[in-house]
């Protein structure tokens, strides 16, 4: 699993080619407060039952509030055979701090 900061994820999104799946594993109430545009919301507890919704051949950047839940989910995905996983270090809190100061925080 790769660990990526907000700037690295932004560069990946801006690059030519197929963009990564932005997998937001926060709870729905958190996702309603703020999100990175284009994120797919699947709460952490629903990931095991939602594996079929994810493409194991695509890059997947896992996102949460501060990067702890997303790290656990990225590790789980690796154990399930997903080989292109990355964790957004610092989560949406770091994204808001470093890249999007207009993003609501909680």
Determine whether 23 is exposed, middle or buried from the number of CB atoms within 10 Å of its CB (0-12, 13-18, 19+). Answer: buried
Q: Any catalytic annotation for residue 64? A: yes
Catalytic residue among 9, 60, 62, 64: 64
**Half-sphere exposure (Cβ direction) of 54: Cα atoms closer than 13 Å:** 32
Q: What is the dihedral of CA 34, 39, 44, 47, to 10 degrees?
A: 160
With beta carbons less than 8 A apart as the criterion, state whether 77 and 62 touch: yes
How many whole angstroms separate alpha carbon 106 and alpha carbon 88? 17
Annotated catalytic residues are 64
């Amino acid at each position: 699993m790769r660990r990526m900061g907000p700037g690295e994820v932004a560069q990946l999104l801006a690059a030519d080619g197929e963009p990564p799946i932005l997998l937001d594993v926060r709870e729905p109430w958190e996702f309603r407060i703020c999100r990175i545009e284009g994120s797919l919301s699947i709460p952490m507890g629903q990931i095991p039952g939602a594996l079929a919704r994810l493409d194991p051949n695509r890059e997947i950047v896992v996102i949460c509030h501060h990067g702890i839940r997303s790290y656990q989910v990225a590790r789980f995905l690796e154990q399930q055979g997903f080989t292109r996983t990355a964790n957004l270090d610092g989560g949406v809190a770091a994204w808001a701090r470093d890249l999007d100061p207009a993003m609501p925080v909680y």
